């Protein structure tokens, strides 16, 4: 089963992402900020990481950098949830080692389509 | 996959309201301290609301938060000064958003009031990008439809893809991209291995292969390009369409992506959807609800909340509280199974064991009850938090300088009490601002600093929570109150009344008419309502005031409305509950001296005070066959500074009782605050001490009248 780590500080977004992915048969673990996500990532590997950018404690960009330093996340697809207003964030994400991005707002179908790009 | 997004709406609303509260609070902090972290927090809150609202189809909210966010972003980057006007605008926006979300939550249409603010933002930003974006979103659906009718022949794309060798470390995997291409049409792939080093020099983590691909597809050139969207910066990419015409053959530069696409538009001479904004195209402008009414998938259908799900209140509970509950339930289960086993093979020799087991069960139950009650306990900060904003706005309006100090915002109190204390508290604070703290001139004339102070303080005392509202204003002049009370016929002229009692008269009904208000500098507006509300919660308000130095209102409230520590007492054959907190002492009737004062009212003389004795049998007209009157005892109880001695036959046990409203099952009675069900199933009335003492004084005065 494909394991996905979903990170977002907004509970509604997190629930939506988690629920959508679970409904599609993925094994989803969620975290509410970069700190929490990194702690989880240190103890287990994931096939895909989906993270929001703007978060308290540790933002998505820093999380991405930190994850790339972990051996088991060297090649793991990391997707950023960004908004259209943050083109520079995409760039920052990419230099931090992010694989790609999902532009907010997105609907469940778009989310799954994007995730399917990087699994399998 | 079809997923009903409305199931996430209530969480969205809840977190958005929380976010707005945070924004409001931080905006107020920003006035004192322009810390970048504050701006960040505000930005994040706005950003989250924007993301959520766009995702869940609340386009108006998304549109509004978008301009807010743009402004906040400029503030964050230091491009825009943080000035009062901006903070005012943002605070107004918070109010506006709150209104919009409230309407959406109730399933109503959002009015267009917000447009004015949006325009103002755009003006301020002096940047048309935001508004042009709106236009985009409206047009984009039309663009979508055009797309299908474009291609006449099936083009062949030849693609040269030469990734940088670090491509794998970005998590991008060429094979997956090819798979995706294969989804678009017929694909043939040829790998160029010429750059792959010899095996011993090979770094397995790098990629040295480049590819030539041929794709037969009816898809848009852009769709093909989109497959490589994430790696544009990390590869050399050439895409040529069928006739060999180069569609796009430069090493792309993402910064100019949109321009790029526009060039592409020109080249192909066709209308192309702006892929940079795919998201906005999902929902056209007009509908606040999602466009597609998605059908919930079956297995989750029962989970989907009803249309107005948002109205169901929910609270957040700390995980530690839940853990405690789970532990307790675990213990309860153990005790239960122990008792169960005991019951299966019971013999008289095990009585001791049974008693112990039951005792344990009792302890478990009590702890469980306490823990459950604690779940509803929330920090009073929830109520306090809305006050700084009010103080800010009102003091500006009044032309006063007032600083609000909040102490003890972590003090917990039951949610139901909290919900009802908000309005009285707001009223008292507003009153302190309006009539307590003097104008700057008056303050300076009185030798005070020009900034007035209002302090809110909350703390626990016994089973109560105490909330103090203290101002350093002019105080209340008892003389004026006295005069007014005489005029109103509330007291007789010349009667000597202690200062505290005079001052507390401002909370009497009938004192709070408009004309009195202007004379006694307004104190008294709705004060009786405040007092009544607090009394209804089983609490009390005390006022202390020092002329020239300020006034303090002290609110005392029970921590919870649901449970009471009670003393069971018997009068004749009836059992009553007296709130334990109100009992001062109990004395056998034989050892006290009962005297009778005017009107044959029995009183008990204790030191210098006369305490009226209330016989429950008389009070509630209980039939009894008591012969003598000095059997039994009196319980001295106190409420709102008044003492009465309740005559009872016997003190029974003390226990926590669950309060049931009498009002909703029967009717409201003076002297009775509710009822409870005892262990043996009998209903017992809970005595309301303040009500009882009022009843007795009223009776006393009518008797007095009769005598006179």
Read off the CATH number of the domain in which B137 is found.
1.20.120.160
CA distance A65 to A97: 6
Segment B330-354, tens digit of pLDDT? 999 999 998 998 888 888 888 898 9
Q: Where residue B292 falls among pLDDT bands split at 50, 70, 90?
A: very low
CA distance B90 to B98: 12
The mean of the pLDDT values for chain B is 77
* Structural domain total, chain B: 5
Residue among A78, A105, A112 whose CB faces B282 most closely: A105
Q: Model-level pTM?
A: 0.56
Task: Mark out the alpha helices in B212-350 (DSSP H runs).
Answer: 221-227, 257-268, 319-344
Query: Is the residue at B293 inside a domain?
Result: no
Chain B residue numbers with beta carbons less than 8 Å from the beta carbon of A81 are 51
Predicted local confidence at residue B312, as pLDDT = 59
Q: Which residue has the higher pLDDT, B276 or B197?
A: B197
Predicted local confidence at residue B598, as pLDDT = 67
CA distance B142 to B668: 64
Q: Which residue has the higher pLDDT, B1 or B590?
A: B590
Segment B447-470, tens digit of pLDDT? 889 899 999 999 887 667 899 999
Give yes or no: residues B338 and B458 share one domain.
no
Query: Is the residue at B300 inside a domain?
Result: no
Predicted local confidence at residue B457, as pLDDT = 93
CA B28 from chain center: how many Å?
18
Q: Which range marks the domain in which residue A23 is found?
A: 3-115
Active-site residue, from B69, B220, B273, B574 = B69
Nearest to B65 by CA among B22, B109, B17, B118: B118
Query: Is the residue at B343 inside a domain?
Result: yes
Predicted local confidence at residue A68, as pLDDT = 92
- Under 8 Å between Cβ of B506 and B485: no
Q: Which range marks the domain in which residue B228 is found?
A: 151-269
Residue B494, φ and ψ in degrees, nearest 5: 90, -15
Q: Judge whether B427 counts as a catalytic residue.
A: no
Query: Is the residue at A35 inside a domain?
Result: yes
DSSP at B8: G
- Under 8 Å between Cβ of B519 and B505: no
Predicted local confidence at residue B289, as pLDDT = 42
Q: Judge whether B63 counts as a catalytic residue.
A: no
* Structural domain total, chain A: 1
Query: Is the residue at A94 inside a domain?
Result: yes
Helices B113-125 and B129-147, interaxial angle, to 10°?
110
Give yes or no: residues B416 and B552 share one domain.
yes
Q: Where residue B520 falls among pLDDT bands split at 50, 70, 90?
A: very low
The residue out of B375, B401, B418 marking a domain boundary is: B375
CA distance B134 to B285: 8
Helices and strands of chain A, counted as H and E runs: 5, 5
Distance from CA of A117 to the nearest CA of B (A): 7
Contact A106 B279 (CB under 8 A): yes
Give yes or no: residues B599 and B526 share one domain.
no
Query: Is the residue at A102 inside a domain?
Result: yes
Nearest to B457 by CA among B445, B447, B440, B469: B469
Chain B residue numbers with beta carbons less than 8 Å from the beta carbon of A97 are 169-171
Predicted local confidence at residue B705, as pLDDT = 53
Give yes or no: residues B110 and B158 share one domain.
no
The two tokens of residue B145 are 């439809």
Mean pLDDT for the stretch of residues B586-604: 79
CA distance B467 to B387: 14
CA distance B582 to B566: 10
The residue out of B252, B269, B286 marking a domain boundary is: B269
Predicted local confidence at residue B515, as pLDDT = 42
Q: Which residue has the higher pLDDT, B114 or B630?
A: B114
CA distance B391 to B441: 19
Query: Is the residue at A97 inside a domain?
Result: yes
Pairing of strands B186-192, B210-216: antiparallel
Contact A120 B279 (CB under 8 A): no
Contact A99 B1 (CB under 8 A): no
Query: Is the residue at B282 inside a domain?
Result: no
| CATH number of the domain to which B224 belongs | 3.30.70
Mean pLDDT for the stretch of residues B230-251: 67
| CATH number of the domain to which A33 belongs | 3.40.50.2300
Contact B15 A103 (CB under 8 A): no
Give yes or no: residues B53 and B185 share one domain.
no
Which of B148-152, B218-222, B663-667, B685-689 is predicted least confidently? B148-152
Query: Is the residue at A120 inside a domain?
Result: no
Give yes or no: residues B425 and B547 share one domain.
yes
User: In Å, what is the CA distance from B101 to each residue of A14, B49, B50, B422?
Assistant: 20, 10, 12, 21
Q: Where residue B306 falls among pLDDT bands split at 50, 70, 90?
A: very low
Query: Is the residue at B311 inside a domain?
Result: no
Segment B261-286, tens digit of pLDDT? 444 444 444 444 444 444 444 444 44
Burial class (CB in 10 A: 0-12, 13-18, 19+), B278: middle
Give yes or no: residues B500 and B446 share one domain.
yes
Task: Calculate what percentage of chain B has a pLDDT beyond 90.
Answer: 6
Residue to mutate among B6, B52, B55, with most A CBs inside 10 A, is: B55
Nearest to B585 by CA among B537, B651, B540, B524: B651
Q: Which residue has the higher pLDDT, B289 or B44?
A: B44
Predicted local confidence at residue B568, as pLDDT = 93
Predicted local confidence at residue B297, as pLDDT = 39
Q: Where residue B245 falls among pLDDT bands split at 50, 70, 90?
A: very low
Query: Is the residue at B279 inside a domain?
Result: no
Contact partners, residue B625, CB within 8 Å, separation at least 6: none
Chain B residue numbers with beta carbons less than 8 Å from the beta carbon of A77 are 171-173
Give yes or no: residues B252 and B339 share one domain.
no
Give yes or no: residues B631 and B606 share one domain.
yes
CA distance B91 to B595: 65
pLDDT at residue B225 is higher than 90? no
Segment A23-76, tens digit of pLDDT? 888 999 999 999 999 999 999 999 999 999 888 899 999 999 999 999 899 889
Mean pLDDT for the stretch of residues B126-131: 48
Query: Is the residue at B276 inside a domain?
Result: no
pLDDT at residue B522 is higher than 70? no
Q: Judge whether B69 counts as a catalytic residue.
A: yes
Give yes or no: residues B438 and B549 share one domain.
yes
- Under 8 Å between Cβ of B212 and B157: no
Which of B298-302, B353-357, B403-407 is predicted least confidently? B298-302
Query: Is the residue at A96 inside a domain?
Result: yes
Mean pLDDT for the stretch of residues A18-23: 90
Predicted local confidence at residue B628, as pLDDT = 61
Residue to mutate among A7, A12, A76, with most B CBs inside 10 A, is: A12
Give yes or no: residues B263 and B327 share one domain.
no
CA-atom Rg of chain B in angstroms:
37
Give yes or no: residues B138 and B157 share one domain.
no
| CATH number of the domain to which B615 belongs | 2.40.50.180
Q: Where residue B599 falls among pLDDT bands split at 50, 70, 90?
A: low
Q: Where residue B624 falls among pLDDT bands split at 50, 70, 90?
A: confident
The residue out of B125, B146, B167 marking a domain boundary is: B146
State in Å, rounded, how far the first CA of chain A is from the last one: 10
Query: Is the residue at B214 inside a domain?
Result: yes
- Residue of chain A nearest B255, judged by CA positions: A87
């Amino acid at each position: 089963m494909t394991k996905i780590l979903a990170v977002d500080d907004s509970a509604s977004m997190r629930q939506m992402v988690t629920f959508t992915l679970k409904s599609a048969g993925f094994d989803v673990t969620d975290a509410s900020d970069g700190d929490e996500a990194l702690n989880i990532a240190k103890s287990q590997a994931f096939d895909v990481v989906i993270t929001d950018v703007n978060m308290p404690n540790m933002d998505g960009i820093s999380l991405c950098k930190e994850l790339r330093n972990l051996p088991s996340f060297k090649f793991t697809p990391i997707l950023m949830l960004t908004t259209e207003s943050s083109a520079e964030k995409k760039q920052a994400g990419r230099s931090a080692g992010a694989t790609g991005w999902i532009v907010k707002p997105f609907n469940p179908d778009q989310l799954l389509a994007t995730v399917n790009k990087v699994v399998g | 996959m079809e997923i009903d997004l409305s199931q996430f709406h209530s969480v969205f609303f809840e977190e958005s309201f929380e976010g707005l509260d945070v924004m409001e609070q931080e905006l107020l902090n920003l006035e004192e301290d322009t810390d970048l972290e504050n701006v960040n927090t505000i930005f994040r809150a706005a950003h989250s609301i924007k993301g959520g609202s766009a995702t869940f189809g609340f386009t108006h909210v998304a549109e509004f938060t978008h301009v807010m966010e743009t402004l906040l972003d400029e503030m964050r980057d230091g491009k825009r000064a943080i000035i009062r006007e901006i903070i005012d605008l943002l605070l107004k926006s918070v109010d506006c958003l709150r209104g919009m979300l409230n309407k959406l939550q109730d399933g109503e249409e959002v009015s267009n009031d917000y447009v004015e603010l949006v325009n103002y933002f755009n003006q301020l930003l002096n940047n048309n990008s935001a508004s042009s974006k709106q236009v985009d979103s409206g047009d984009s659906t039309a663009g979508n439809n055009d797309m299908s009718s474009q291609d006449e022949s099936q083009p062949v794309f030849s693609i040269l893809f030469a990734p940088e060798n670090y491509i794998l470390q970005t998590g991008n995997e060429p094979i997956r991209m090819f798979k995706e291409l294969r989804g678009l049409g017929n694909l043939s792939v040829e790998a160029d291995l010429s750059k792959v080093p010899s095996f011993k020099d090979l770094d397995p983590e790098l990629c040295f292969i480049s590819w030539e691909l041929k794709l037969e597809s009816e898809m848009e050139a852009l769709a093909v390009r989109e497959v490589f969207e994430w790696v544009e910066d990390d590869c050399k990419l050439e895409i040529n369409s069928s006739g060999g015409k180069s569609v796009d053959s430069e090493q792309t530069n993402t910064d100019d992506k949109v321009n790029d696409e526009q060039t592409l538009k020109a080249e192909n001479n066709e209308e192309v959807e702006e892929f940079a904004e795919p998201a906005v195209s999902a929902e056209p402008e007009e509908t606040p609800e999602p466009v597609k009414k998605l059908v919930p998938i079956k297995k989750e259908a029962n989970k989907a909340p009803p249309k107005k799900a948002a109205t169901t209140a929910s609270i957040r509970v700390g995980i530690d509280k839940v853990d405690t509950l789970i532990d307790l339930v675990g213990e309860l289960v153990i005790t239960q199974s122990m008792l169960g086993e005991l019951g299966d093979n019971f013999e008289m020799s095990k009585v001791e064991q049974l008693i112990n087991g039951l005792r344990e069960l009792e302890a478990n139950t009590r702890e469980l009850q306490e823990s459950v009650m604690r779940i509803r306990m929330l920090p009073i900060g929830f109520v306090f938090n809305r006050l700084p904003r009010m103080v800010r706005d009102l003091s500006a309006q009044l032309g006063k300088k007032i600083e609000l100090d909040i102490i003890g915002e972590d003090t917990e109190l039951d949610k139901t009490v909290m919900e009802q204390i908000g309005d009285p508290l707001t009223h008292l604070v507003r009153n302190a601002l309006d009539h307590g703290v003097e104008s700057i001139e008056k303050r300076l004339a009185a030798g005070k600093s020009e900034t007035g102070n209002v302090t809110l303080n909350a703390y626990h005392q016994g089973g109560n929570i105490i909330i103090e509202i203290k101002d350093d204003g002019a105080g209340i002049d008892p003389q004026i109150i006295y005069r007014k009370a005489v005029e109103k016929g509330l007291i007789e002229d010349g009667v000597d009344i202690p200062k505290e009692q005079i001052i507390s008269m401002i909370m009497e009904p009938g004192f709070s008419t408009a004309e009195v208000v202007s004379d006694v500098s307004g104190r008294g507006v709705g004060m009786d309502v405040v007092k009544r509300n607090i009394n209804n919660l089983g609490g009390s308000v005390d006022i202390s005031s020092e002329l020239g130095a300020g006034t303090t209102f002290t609110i005392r409230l029970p921590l919870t409305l649901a449970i009471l520590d009670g003393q069971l007492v018997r009068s004749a054959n009836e059992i009553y509950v007296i709130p334990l907190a109100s009992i001062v002492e109990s004395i056998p009737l034989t050892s006290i001296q009962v005297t009778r004062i005017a009107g044959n009212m029995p009183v008990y003389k204790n030191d210098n005070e006369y305490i009226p004795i209330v016989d429950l049998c008389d009070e509630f007209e209980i039939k009894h066959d008591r012969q003598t009157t000095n059997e039994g005892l009196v319980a001295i109880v106190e409420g709102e500074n008044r003492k009465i001695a309740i005559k009872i036959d016997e003190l029974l046990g003390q226990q926590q009782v669950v309060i049931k409203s009498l009002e909703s099952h029967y009717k409201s009675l003076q002297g009775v605050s509710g009822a409870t069900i005892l262990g043996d199933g009998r209903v017992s009335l809970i005595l309301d001490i303040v009500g009882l003492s009022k009843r007795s004084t009223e009776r006393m005065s009518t008797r007095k009248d009769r005598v006179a």
